[in-house]
Structure 1
Amino acid sequence: MAVSASSSAQQARQILASRLGEIRRDAGLTGRDLAEACGWYPSKVSRIENARNPPSAADISAWCTACGAQNQAEDLVASLRAVEGMWVEWQRMERTGLRAAQEARLPLFERTRRFRSYSSWLVPGLMQTREYTEAVLRAVQQRRVKVDDVDAAVEARMARQKVLHTGARFAFLLEESVLRSGPGGRDVMAAQLTHLATAAALPSVSLGIVRMSPDRTRTPVEGFWIFDTAQVNVELVSGYLTITQPREIAMYGETFAELAEHAAYGSDARDLITEARRSLG
């Protein structure tokens, strides 16, 4: 299991480790006793209980059997799977191609009623044209995915855009630089900017453009999505992070609000989009 910088993932790992330690102590076993019963080196028990090494499902089963707590193994393995899902490397998520990764996120989008999205790199997927999406996913495929199913992945992302018309609320924040740099060339970018202005007029959508400025008090950060108050997803260079700790979700909410203070809305946002489109010639 990959280690992320998120305290959500680390705290979840620590909770699982603590539960295993409690089971051992409740059984009246020392770490050496448990290791002997499982056929392990004693250091393995210590590493698992201190969350330095994650257990496998087989480790959890053996641990619970040795402690006479077989009835707890199923729940603990489920907790392990949840922890593993908090941080997923791109190589693992996209091993069968890009389409599956796009489709896997659809249920989350369908059940969310309030979206907040901040983007410092690209136009968010829900606001992309087909050509822009194709350019983005083609670049991803060429960089890190062996399977070429870009056409199918584009269709999956386009289908996801139907949530814009389901009565949910969407607040998008884009760095102004996103309007001036992107994939696909001038024609693709020009069409994307036109579409962005049109999509921003939807009743369900609020679009803010965070102005470029030499005296901003809140600097750009990694792009993120906030789904209701249930979770935050962050796309990093190395993988896909899911944050579920309420304290951390609140931190992203506060960051979104701070960035929103620097944003232009309505006619001011449209002026920035028009200016960016004009600069393309």
Structure 2
Amino acid sequence: MTTSPSSAAKKAQEALGLRLRSLRLDAGLTARQLADGTGWHFTRISKIENGVQRPTDADIRTWCAVCATDAEAPDLIAQARSIESMYMEFRHRSRTGLKQLMRSPVPLYERTAQFRIYEHNVIPGLFQTAGYIRAMLPFWFSFLGVRNDLEESVAARLERQSVLYDGSKTFSVVLEEACLRTPLGDTETLSAQLDRLLSIMSLPNVSLGIIPALTVRDVIGSAGFWIFDDNLVKLETPTASIEVSQPQEIDLYAKMFDHLRGWAVYGRDARQLILRIQGELV
């Protein structure tokens, strides 16, 4: 079952409260002593620590100053800011169709210089053909209960791909072999999509690695994720887009990406793998 956005935000707020409580305890302060130091009523301390009230940026800076942990403030502020925005519900953003949802990442793409992308079961949107997009979108109109604007949505997603040809941007992409074998649409659609991958690999700013299905490893990526520079990580669930902006968490995703990349094959080996799978479709 997918965790609802409101429930997820509540849990994130509670986690923030626990971190702030740990800072207070590590500083050897009671709630009343912290309240005295901040000039707040002591009940406010309790509300923040128990996830009932979300602290402002200024609250966090004050809290850290009283606890003599100023260095923790930037990371805590990033965590607090992500609580309200971490879940953007697809249904709310796509009531009039999916076209606007397809266009929404464009500003983020335009300001990002380094893309790191890991997908475990689907071709990334930046690489998808029109046929592949047409095969995968119809389900979502029905599932989300939104207006069917298929052709407009396909066009909007294809327009996003123009960033691939911006030489100032780099794209490091790791795909599980399963991405190449999921037959969205018919075999002809998948074969054309594999042709598209072979073409994309020739771009000088794109590094495309594939993890073969039988690779012996110590971990499997549980979800696809995109890292935008060192500023943001995005993941998608069936009903929401999750945004991670906390620096420590972004570092962990980057570490996971590097780990997964170590098992991927590149260049000639990757091309041979794609061609072999394509040959099996005949």
Q: Shared fold (TM-score greater than 0.5)? A: yes
User: Which whole-Å CA distance do the structure 2 matches of 1:159 and 1:27 have between them?
Assistant: 53
Q: Which residue of 1 aligns with 2:208?
A: 207
Q: Secondary structure of 1:97's match?
A: coil
In the TM superposition, structure 1's runs of 4+ consecutive aligned residues that sit over 6 Å from their partners are 5-9, 13-18, 21-25
User: Which whole-Å CA distance do the structure 2 matches of 1:257 and 1:128 have between them?
Assistant: 24
Does the alignment pair 1:3 with 2:7?
yes
**What are the superposed Cα offsets for residues 180-225 of structure 1, whole Å, 9 maximum, x if unpaired?**
1131111110100011111111111000001112622222320000
1:12 CA displacement: 5.6
Q: For 1:7-156, what aligned pairs fall within 5 Å after superposition?
A: 26=38, 29=41, 31=43, 48-53=47-52, 83-156=83-156
User: Which whole-Å CA distance do the structure 2 matches of 1:6 and 1:201 have between them?
Assistant: 45
User: Which whole-Å CA distance do the structure 1 matches of 2:136 and 2:17 have between them?
Assistant: 34
User: Which whole-Å CA distance do the structure 1 matches of 2:20 and 2:101 have between them?
Assistant: 27
Contact 1:8 1:244 in 2 (8 A): no
User: Which whole-Å CA distance do the structure 2 matches of 1:123 and 1:270 have between them?
Assistant: 15
User: Which whole-Å CA distance do the structure 2 matches of 1:23 and 1:88 have between them?
Assistant: 34
User: Which whole-Å CA distance do the structure 1 matches of 2:119 and 2:232 have between them?
Assistant: 17
The one-letter code sitting in structure 1 at the alignment partner of 2:110 is E
User: Which whole-Å CA distance do the structure 1 matches of 2:20 and 2:280 have between them?
Assistant: 54
Q: Secondary structure of 2:136's match?
A: helix
1:239 CA displacement: 1.8
Q: Secondary structure of 1:233's match?
A: strand
Q: For structure 2, which runs of at least 5 residues remain unmatched after alignment?
A: 24-31, 55-78
Structure 1 residues 220 and 213: alpha-carbon distance in aligned structure 2, compared to 1, 3 A threshold: farther
**What are the superposed Cα offsets for residues 112-149 of structure 1, whole Å, 9 maximum, x if unpaired?**
00000000111001111011112222222222232212
* TM-score, normalising length: structure 2: 0.76
Q: Secondary structure of 2:172's match?
A: strand
User: Which whole-Å CA distance do the structure 2 matches of 1:13 and 1:142 have between them?
Assistant: 39
Q: Which residue of 2 aligns with 1:59?
A: none
Q: Secondary structure of 2:6's match?
A: coil
User: Which whole-Å CA distance do the structure 2 matches of 1:125 and 1:133 have between them?
Assistant: 8
Q: Identity across aligned pairs (percent)?
A: 32
**What are the superposed Cα offsets for residues 77-105 of structure 1, whole Å, 9 maximum, x if unpaired?**
xx987531112233233333211111111
Structure 1 residues 146 and 152: alpha-carbon distance in aligned structure 2, compared to 1, 3 A threshold: same
Q: For 1:185-224, what aligned pairs fall within 5 Å after superposition?
A: 185-213=186-214, 215-224=216-225
Contact 2:117 2:227 in 1 (8 A): yes
Say how many residue pairs are matched. Answer: 247
The one-letter code sitting in structure 2 at the alignment partner of 1:3 is S
Q: Which residue of 1 aligns with 2:231?
A: 230
Q: Which residue of 2 aligns with 1:36?
A: none
Contact 2:212 2:265 in 1 (8 A): yes
The one-letter code sitting in structure 1 at the alignment partner of 2:257 is F
The one-letter code sitting in structure 2 at the alignment partner of 1:268 is D
User: Which whole-Å CA distance do the structure 2 matches of 1:240 and 1:202 have between them?
Assistant: 28
Contact 1:9 1:87 in 2 (8 A): no
Contact 1:9 1:83 in 2 (8 A): yes
Structure 1 residues 275 and 164: alpha-carbon distance in aligned structure 2, compared to 1, 3 A threshold: same
